[in-house]
Amino acid sequence: MSQVERQQWDVVVVGAGGAGLRAAIEAREQGARTAVICKSLFGKAHTVMAEGGIAASMGNVNSGDNWQVHFRDTLRGGKFLNQWRMAELHAREAPDRVWELETWGALFDRTKDGRISQRNFGGHEYPRLAHVGDRTGLELIRTLQQKIVALQQEDKREFGNYEARLKVFQECTVTRVLKDESASGDGRVTGAFCYERESGRFFVIEAPSVVLATGGIGKSFKVTSNSWEYTGDGHALALLAGAPLLNMEFVQFHPTGMVWPPSVKGILVTESVRGDGGVLRNSEGKRFMFDYIPDVFKEKYAESEAEGDRWYEDPDHNRRPPELLPRDEVARAINAEVKAGRGSPHGGVFLDVSTRMPAEVIRRRLPSMYHQFKELADVDITAEAMEVGPTCHYVMGGIAVESDTAAARGVPGLFAAGEVAGGMHGSNRLGGNSLSDLLVFGRRAGLYAARHAAAPDAARSVDEAQVDTAAAEALRPFSAEGPRDGTVPENPYTLHQELQQTMNDLVGIIRREGEMAEALERLADLRQRARRAGVEGHRQFNPGWHLALDLRNMLLVSECVARAALERTESRGGHTREDHPGMNRDWRRVNLLCRLAEPADDSPTAGRPDVRAEPAAGSAAPVGGLAAAEPARGRIALTRVTTDPIRPDLLALFDKEELVKYLAEEELFE
């Protein structure tokens, strides 16, 4: 019998980035007592790093913009694999979410006539990104935090307690979502098992609604722009709770990360550099992007440098330069130039803004980039070109959710929003569409989580045995043993490095069948070894222990990525197969769902029925059954499901000639 402390709340939000904070604000405003749990310090979430801006069709800089154009751009960027209803809600609601931020105190850059300024970004037809220099994420989080403090002050006045209805548990990690597993229960959520990073103390939050807002998975890759928190926790928590993940093969490699010096490899160089006029050149000085405009985008991009340059001043009569193609296209082009021997000295290409704008404009519009290069690489971007190359940046795949409610499919009471949720961005996300996504769907997740918690039959108590099992699982690294007598346990840091190398080398930007099969073998071995990952010392701030626990999540998520990538025999968005180079229209309607293939032997609910053969609830129907029957050496099974046909009034926003490039034959017929 455990002695783990319990607290009761209505809604627990896991994550305090943009999605989590927006969800918490909404849930609290709906009257739900809301707890926010975050692994880092409050205010330090990954969202803080967002630079370029929030995409919303306010039309402040070009009045031609509206939600329909934003919707079209988003579908084109995602190569029509987006969960279209999410893309519609996102495009319609994003402007309100930005204006709302302003009423809460956000200070955006302004146009000359005093409106919120909007900047150009790849794949967006009009200037659309509301921004604060190149530190937009910081202002977003600051504003949401300020709103949370205001709500807490309200509670102090009303109840004499700041935390009466909204409490933040910072530097705490959730390791399990707990559910009602009783014979009479329907597997609904009952709460979350957590530990304090500083003290190692365990605690349980009992709550009928759990919102996962844990962000992405980039720390499974060696070269990444992502922060230390991005270990795929929410993805894994959902899988372990029985919810499927959608289209995990789609991982965005941002075209411009720093490549030199090695200690900073992968750190992001914001797309605003290109949005504001920066150009890409190879070692021969050529603006090579003009050679890489794919057929589907030919009519929309400039054919010559002169036209591309004119577009910055006169976008109505010229087409945009190809440096502003969606990220997947630019990343592949850079990769190809480097491979062809036309790269920069340190294995990237050149991104030049110094010959395009006066120094003081660069320092004003791109202050973080100026300091980043000056301090980390001793490069003055007002006088010389940067060296850049692709870096793992964002995961389009994520928890399969209902579009309107953000409810995770198959687990009542579980919700997901932000980068951890799948579907919104299809096979490739447009820049700026994440910050708007997390505001739109953060709000929706908070709203529906509060409603779920208010239902009379909402589950309220956590089973003691599950708490004991979760505690034992979390403590296992302290008693891990080597494979044989006298051998030492595995080192979690070594395992993490091997995992990152495997994903980078074998499931990276360009993928091949043999390499992905090899990756799955290596992941299976790593998973076995990770069960023997051991740590020394005690539970008080022990980073080795924290990593040992995160490894479970990274390995699960990495297997999802590798298995889905092996299955999808086409190239689309953030999934490029050298052995299947083209986009195949027949794959347009196919989504791949990942589920746990076996009851987890380390699960707090051992013996749970295998969920892998069930079709996804909601809009999907099975077409191919199990694509990869229960894998011999892994934990993930794949199911193919078809998407709902896109609603006719939304399809009518596109020209027929364009649809022919994307939709499968039978869809066009329908």
Give the residues lining the site for ligand FAD (CB under 6 A): 14-20, 37-40, 45-47, 49-53, 136-137, 173-174, 213-215, 225-226, 229, 233, 268, 394, 418-420, 431-435, 438
Task: Give yes or no: 327 in active site.
Answer: yes
Comparing CB distances to ligand FAD, the nearer of 234 and 489 is 234
Residue 17 CB, nearest approach to ligand FAD (Å): 2
Comparing CB distances to ligand FAD, the nearer of 21 and 520 is 21
Closest residue to ligand FAD, judged by C-beta, is 17
Contact 57, 39 (CB under 8 A): no
C-alpha count within 13 angstroms, C-beta hemisphere, residue 272: 29
Residue 230 CB, nearest approach to ligand FAD (Å): 7
The structure tokens listed for 150 are: 């205001």
SS3 407: strand
Residue 442 CB, nearest approach to ligand FAD (Å): 7
Strand order in the sheet with 349-352: 251-258, 386-395, 349-352, 279-281
Round to whole Å and give the CA distance between 315 and 319.
7
Comparing CB distances to ligand FAD, the nearer of 49 and 566 is 49
The structure tokens listed for 92 are: 């319609």
Distance of CA 541 to the CA centre of its chain: 27
Round to whole Å and give the CA distance between 311 and 387.
25
Taking the CA atoms of residue 568, residue 569, residue 575 and residue 581 in that order, the dihedral angle to the nearest 10 degrees is -170
Comparing CB distances to ligand FAD, the nearer of 254 and 511 is 254
- Angle, helices 492-506 vs 513-530, to 10°: value is 170
Comparing CB distances to ligand FAD, the nearer of 291 and 602 is 602
Round to whole Å and give the CA distance between 505 and 511.
9
Comparing CB distances to ligand FAD, the nearer of 88 and 419 is 419
Strand partners, 5: 203
Contact 558, 525 (CB under 8 A): no
Comparing CB distances to ligand FAD, the nearer of 193 and 662 is 193
Residue 23 CB, nearest approach to ligand FAD (Å): 9
- Cβ-based neighbours of 106, under 8 Å, separated by 6 or more: 132, 139, 140, 142, 143
Distances in Å between the Cα of 129 and the Cα atoms of 124, 133, 347 are 9, 11, 30
Comparing CB distances to ligand FAD, the nearer of 118 and 226 is 226
DSSP notation for 64-119: T--HHHHHHHHHHHTTT-S-HHHHHHHHHHHHHHHHHHHHTT----B-TTSSBPEE
At position 113, the amino acid (one-letter code) is D
Q: Nearest CA to 592 among 393, 392, 429, 397?
A: 397
Strand partners, 192: 177, 205
Residue 649 CB, nearest approach to ligand FAD (Å): 27
SS3 288: helix
Plot region of 212 (φ>0 → left; ψ -120 to 50 → alpha; else → beta): beta
Residue 429 CB, nearest approach to ligand FAD (Å): 8
Comparing CB distances to ligand FAD, the nearer of 492 and 515 is 492
C-alpha angle 354-358-359 in degrees, rounded to nearest 5: 70
Round to whole Å and give the CA distance between 343 and 279.
15
Residue 131 CB, nearest approach to ligand FAD (Å): 8
Comparing CB distances to ligand FAD, the nearer of 397 and 418 is 418
Residue 143 CB, nearest approach to ligand FAD (Å): 14
Residue 566 CB, nearest approach to ligand FAD (Å): 25
At position 529, the amino acid (one-letter code) is R
Q: In this structure, how many other beta carbons lie within 10 angstroms of the beta carbon of residue 368? A: 17
C-alpha count within 13 angstroms, C-beta hemisphere, residue 368: 19
Comparing CB distances to ligand FAD, the nearer of 449 and 663 is 449
SS3 245: strand
The structure tokens listed for 107 are: 């200070």
Comparing CB distances to ligand FAD, the nearer of 81 and 268 is 268
Residue 304 CB, nearest approach to ligand FAD (Å): 29
Residue 424 CB, nearest approach to ligand FAD (Å): 11
Contact 178, 463 (CB under 8 A): yes
Distances in Å between the Cα of 70 and the Cα atoms of 37, 62, 439 are 33, 13, 16
Distances in Å between the Cα of 144 and the Cα atoms of 49, 105, 148, 381 are 15, 9, 6, 32
Strand order in the sheet with 621-628: 398-399, 245-246, 590-596, 636-642, 621-628
Residue 14 CB, nearest approach to ligand FAD (Å): 5
Identify the active-site residue in 327, 332, 444, 572. 327
Active site residues: 327
